[in-house]
Amino acid sequence: MARLAATPSAEELAAGIGRGDRRALARAITHVERDDALGRALLAALYPRTGHAHTIGVTGSGGVGKSTLVGRLAAEQRRRGRSVGIVAVDPSSPFSHGALLGDRIRMQDLTADPGVFLRSMASRGHLGGLAESASGVVDVLDAAGYDVVIVETVGAGQDEVEVASATQSTVLVTNPSAGDEIQSMKAGLMEVAQLLVVNKADLAGADSAVQQLLSLLVLAGSRAWEPPVLKVVARSGEGVAELVDRIDEHQRHVRDSEHAGAERRALVRAQLLSLATAALSRRALAEARRSSALDALVEEVAARRRDPRAAADALLAGLAPAAGG
């Protein structure tokens, strides 16, 4: 393994990744996460090499056992002879923008395995949005040749859910004690998940949680892929092999379905629009902050002479040409 240059070029990093150099891979992820010029050049170089990995999203509220489950999922994938990349997203502090990333604690056994690459990622401070940064990191791991790439996020906000739903197979994890939470999932998470898991299924209430999920699925109507509801005990590993079986089944469904091409295009379309939206709003915000009109409009709205929506329209009207160029 050649020593990494202090400031490696995109070509050097891409070549390193091609050789299986983990140091180059780690550095490449840093740049892609930062969305800097090198990161962008890397993604451009690496994207044609993507498409090999099966991508899996794992989401759910804090404390349902996602990290433990992801560790077990990865171990089961390894038993099946597949290499595994993991992107574990943890929330940043809204105050300091720092983050405490603790997913490695529950995945210690994986650290010694050369067939696993685990990267922790903080949820905030991404210029292009978390979902875009995370999908870039997934692309890098895919291009590096990992057979399976798992993305773990706390399903606490729209942004985090989008991250998981940008994968091919999204697993929603819940708990026997999460009855009210399951009720509140009606409008949202249920639609983005292809597999539903009741973790800690050795606790009382597991069967009723399964029933609740099944009845919500009935309400959602019939689809080409019916999301299975599975009971798992991540701590002991019970039910994990079956979960991987069903994930594999979903993967075959995605790849072999007559709609596979259309689904891929729908996913890409959503991603392009989301990237364009993020870029536009960044540009517009930067312009708006520089605009001399902003202070005057703030005064008008503060004094209630103008309503905020009309003021926002007025602000944008002044920026329109800049936003296009």
Partner 1 sequence: MTEESTAQEQGAEERRIRVLIAKPGLDGHDRGAKVVARALRDAGMEVIYTGIRQTPQMIAEAALQEDVDVIGLSILSGAHLELFPRVIEALRERDIGPDEVLLFCGGIIPHEDGEAVRELGFRGVFGPGTDTRDIAAFIREQLPTLPARAG
Q: Tell me which residues in 127-166 interact with partner 1 (CB under 8 A).
A: 127
Cα 262 from Cα 254, distance rounded (Å): 11
Based on CB atoms, which residue is closest to partner 1, 3 or 219?
3
Which residues neighbour 129 within 8 Å (Cβ) at sequence distance 6 or greater? 159, 274, 278
Which residues neighbour 319 within 8 Å (Cβ) at sequence distance 6 or greater? 284, 287, 288, 291
DSSP 58: E
Q: Looking at the DSSP assignment, which residues form a beta bridge with residue 60?
A: 154
Q: Which of 9, 20, 22, 323 binds partner 1 (CB under 8 A)?
A: 22
Nearest-approach distance from CB 70 to partner 1, in angstroms? 15
Picking from 140, 129, 119, the residue whose alpha carbon sits closest to that of residue 43 is: 140
Nearest-approach distance from CB 34 to partner 1, in angstroms? 7
Residue 120 as a binder of partner 1 (CB under 8 A): the answer is: yes
Question: Is 234 within 8 Å of 65 (Cβ atoms)?
Answer: yes
Based on CB atoms, which residue is closest to partner 1, 9 or 93?
93
Integer-rounded Cα Rg, in Å, for the chain is 22
Nearest-approach distance from CB 203 to partner 1, in angstroms? 24
Residue 126 as a binder of partner 1 (CB under 8 A): the answer is: yes
Cα 230 from Cα 69, distance rounded (Å): 13
Cα 243 from Cα 273, distance rounded (Å): 32
Based on CB atoms, which residue is closest to partner 1, 120 or 271?
120
Based on CB atoms, which residue is closest to partner 1, 243 or 297?
297
Based on CB atoms, which residue is closest to partner 1, 129 or 228?
129
Residue 317 as a binder of partner 1 (CB under 8 A): the answer is: no
Residue 278 as a binder of partner 1 (CB under 8 A): the answer is: no
Question: Is 10 within 8 Å of 18 (Cβ atoms)?
Answer: no
Q: Looking at the DSSP assignment, which residues form a beta bridge with residue 108?
A: none
Which of these segments, 118-126, 157-165, 235-243, 270-278, binds partner 1 (CB under 8 A)? 118-126
Total residues at the site for partner 1 (CB under 8 A)? 37
Instruction: Give per-residue burial for 175-204: e unless 16+ CB within 10 Å, then b.
Output: bbebeebbeebeeebbebbbbbbbbbbeee
Based on CB atoms, which residue is closest to partner 1, 134 or 254?
134
Based on CB atoms, which residue is closest to partner 1, 28 or 240?
28
Q: Which of 72, 78, 119, 231 binds partner 1 (CB under 8 A)?
A: 119
Which of these segments, 40-48, 50-58, 110-118, 173-181, binds partner 1 (CB under 8 A)? 110-118
Q: What are phi and psi of 223, to 5 degrees?
A: -135, 170
Based on CB atoms, which residue is closest to partner 1, 1 or 37?
1
Residue 222 as a binder of partner 1 (CB under 8 A): the answer is: no
> Would you call 241 exposed, middle or buried from its count of C-beta atoms within 10 A (0-12, 13-18, 19+)?
middle
Q: Tell me which residues in 85-104 interact with partner 1 (CB under 8 A).
A: 92-93, 95-102, 104
Q: Where on the chain is the footprint of partner 1 (CB under 8 A)?
A: 1-4, 6, 22-23, 26-27, 29-30, 34, 92-93, 95-102, 104-105, 108, 111-112, 117-120, 122, 124-127, 289
